Structure 1
Amino acid sequence: MIIKKYTQADEKALFALIEQEGVEWAEYYDTKKEQYQKALAHSITYVLYEEELCGYCRCRNDDGFGIYIYDLLVDKNYRGKSYGRALMQQIKRDYPQVAVYVMSDVNSYYEKQGYAEVGTIFAVEL
């Protein structure tokens, strides 16, 4: 397993991983692909390789107030090997003085990892 920071050379493999995940991730590779490419360029993103790109994590640093994980995805064929945890641990290793938070709609996964729930996210509507 190799974890490294994302570069544009990883783009094709990363979008292939996202696309195989299906409709829940469709806007990232379909209707908002250009926007997501820009988001990747301005994010802290790690990719995980095990022969091929099989996982990634995208997050943003809030100027030292916290690192917020927006996206965490591991290929279905590689799940159950603690790759998601390894990606999050890499963030903590690289930013040891900064709190790391996850923005999630899959809370059961993070609860299973032993992470504490510290808040809730609300969508602001007009």
Structure 2
Amino acid sequence: MNLRIQLDTTNINWDLVVDILQKVGMGYHTAEIHQRAFNNSHTVVFVFDEDNLIGFGRAISDGEYQAAIYDVAVLPSYQGRGIGKTIIRTIVEDIPNCNFILYASPGKEKFYEKENFKRMKTGMALFVNAEKMNGKGFTE
């Protein structure tokens, strides 16, 4: 593995972003929507093996004390090799004074706990298109 980290959106193949999100079972939109979302984010991280995109993540933030992490995904064939950890740590290091929130894909909570994220006692969400969420993350 010859990993390369990129901290901007230059020359990203946005169709591959959609493809990776689909492969890991996460919510996804069109390539154009993801491009706008990443371009409008405070921090972005893309990981390549040689020239192949294998993972990414992003954070929105005020840059002072609050941030939210979104779209952390690593191709299944590369999972378990510390790439997700690298993405999370790179984001956190880029915004060092911030508190971070995120919601994890079901079954991935332990991954984030290893990176010192804690489960929250309360949390609320309002989704514009709730049916796209397929009930993920909702409690009764």
TM surpasses 0.5: yes
Distance 2:76 2:11 in 1: 23
Residues 69-126 of structure 1 deviation map (CA, whole Å, 9 limit, x = unaligned): 011000111000011111111122222222233232332432354422235432337x
Alignment partner, residue 48 of structure 1: 47
Secondary structure of the residue aligned to 1:109 is: helix
Structure 1 residue ranges without an equivalent (≥5): none
Higher helix share: 1
Distance 1:40 1:95 in 2: 16
TM-score when normalising by structure 1: 0.76
Mapped pair 1:64 → 2:33: no
Distance 1:62 1:95 in 2: 9
**What amino acid sits opposite 1:38 in the alignment?**
R
Distance 2:87 2:27 in 1: 23
User: Which has the larger displacement, 65-74 or 91-100?
Assistant: 91-100
Taking the TM superposition and a 5 Å limit, the aligned residue runs for 1:1-126 are: 1-10=3-12, 12=13, 14-22=14-22, 24-25=25-26, 27-29=28-30, 33-43=31-41, 44-51=43-50, 52-106=52-106, 107-124=109-126
**What amino acid sits opposite 1:16 in the alignment?**
L
Secondary structure of the residue aligned to 1:2 is: strand
The alignment-based identity, stated in percent, is: 22
Q: Is contact 2:67–2:100 with CA below 8 Å preserved after alignment?
A: yes
**What amino acid sits opposite 1:68 in the alignment?**
A
Distance 1:114 1:26 in 2: 24
TM-score when normalising by structure 2: 0.70
RMSD: 2.6
